[in-house]
Structure 1
Amino acid sequence: MLKKILLGVAVALVAFIGFIATRPSTFKIERSTTVSAPADVVYALVADFHKVGTWSPFLKPDPTRTDTYAGTPATVGHSIAWASSDNAAEGKMTIAAVNPPEQLQLELEFIKPFKATNGTVFRFERAGNGTTVTWVMTGQNGFLNKAVSVFMDMDKLVGADFEAGLATLKNLSEAEAKKLAEAKAAAQAAANAAPNGTVASDTAR
């Protein structure tokens, strides 16, 4: 009886492993939002890793994590490396290619708790007076990821973080665009007022 049970377990295990092997070997997670701000304003918040923590749920401030920056923001080679003592997370994100303000290509390396390298692309497309921002991440599915995908919808889980990050990016970009527009309007008003004041003074003389 015990042998039959063990045999049944072994057959089920082999079948399960075989099923896992049929799962997709690659993945793609993609989300978009439309922002009422020029592309260059949104691009600046994504291409400078010192600012990414203000909107990305993956790099939000964490006292247990050490961040190390390198390179010039918005240029190829600009990077952020992180290491967390709390959950043993370690990785690095680097700008691989730039096409401002239309596209930004990143390389995302995970070192701990597992090793993986994923490609990430941000696209910024004009949408009326605003910008449609699209966040895409692609990569390879190893055996562990395939096994996890049997029980969890990774697109839904990670996609929810993408959606939250894009929502915050939208709010920050629109606030920044409004601030820049107000500063430009104030500068223009001052410039328009200056000649009038000068003419008035000359007339008085």
Structure 2
Amino acid sequence: MLKGVAIFAVVLAVGIAGVLVFALSKPDTFRVERSLAVKAPAEAIYPLVADFHRWTGWSPYEGRDPGMKRTFGGTAVGKGATYAWDGNSNVGAGHMEILKANTPSKLRIKLDFERPFEGHNTAEFTFVPQGDATLVTWAMYGPAPFMSKVMQVFLNMDSMIGKDFEAGLASLKKLTEK
């Protein structure tokens, strides 16, 4: 029996070491990006993103915790606007601040997660006119610390976050194409 336990321990240690070594091969940064053409001018879409108060109407994260606490600060809209949230395990806690607001073409947001995992990323929204439509792109990028790399061995971050971005963009489309 002792021999069986020892074999199991060795196999487990080799498996863990393999995961850790494989995690080291993952990139040091990540980027998730989705785009959608919306049949509306950028001037109609941009205000829904530049005002954190309006995110409840389209963000896929807003409905995941009805009891989520929200705090707004800084300027009301655009550069300097801040938003903090504290919710259940589906939304965690964190805060955002709009760092760059080029009306109506681009927004850059500092995005800091506190839980369930700490993370310091950048979110960007770009609005590019295309005839009678606007190509809206939602991107998030940042460093991939070692624990993030270990998670990437088991989870596809692009698919997970990408689905949320697709849902949010679809909601923006629905709101502005009325």
Q: Is the structural similarity TM-score above 0.5?
A: yes
More helix by share: 1
Is the Cα contact below 8 Å between 1:54 and 1:60 reproduced in 2?
A: no
In the other structure, the counterpart of 1:122 is 125
For residues 41 and 153 of structure 1, what CA distance do their matches in structure 2 show? 33
Give the one of 110, 116, 129 matched to 1:107: 110
Is the Cα contact below 8 Å between 2:19 and 2:150 reproduced in 1?
A: no
For residues 92 and 16 of structure 2, what CA distance do their matches in structure 1 show? 31
For residues 72 and 5 of structure 1, what CA distance do their matches in structure 2 show? 58
Larger radius of gyration: 1
Q: Deviations over 1:137-174 (max 9, x none)?
A: 00122222212211221111110111011001011012
- 1:53 is paired with a residue whose SS is helix
Q: Deviations over 1:5-24 (max 9, x none)?
A: 43343233222211111112
User: Which protein, 1 or 2, shows the higher relative CO under an 8 Å CA cutoff with sep ≥ 6?
Assistant: 2
Count of aligned positions: 174
For residues 28 and 94 of structure 1, what CA distance do their matches in structure 2 show? 19
Q: Which runs of 5+ in 2 are unaligned?
A: none
TM-score by length of 2: 0.90
In the other structure, the counterpart of 2:53 is 50
- 1:139 is paired with a residue whose SS is strand
| Aligned residue runs from structure 1 range 129-148, under 5 A | 129-148=132-151
RMSD of Structure 2 on Structure 1 (CA): 1.7
Is the Cα contact below 8 Å between 1:53 and 1:61 reproduced in 2?
A: no
Deviates more, 1:107-116 or 1:1-10: 1-10
In the other structure, the counterpart of 1:36 is 39
Q: Deviations over 1:51-102 (max 9, x none)?
A: 0111010223733211011123332110111112x33821101101111101
- What amino acid does structure 1 have at the position aligned with 2:47? A
TM-score by length of 1: 0.79
- 2:108 is paired with a residue whose SS is strand
For residues 42 and 12 of structure 2, what CA distance do their matches in structure 1 show? 57
For residues 10 and 35 of structure 1, what CA distance do their matches in structure 2 show? 51
Following superposition, the deviation at residue 4 of structure 1 comes to 4.5
Give the one of 54, 73, 77 matched to 1:74: 77
- What amino acid does structure 2 have at the position aligned with 1:141? A
- What amino acid does structure 1 have at the position aligned with 2:40? A
Following superposition, the deviation at residue 129 of structure 1 comes to 1.4
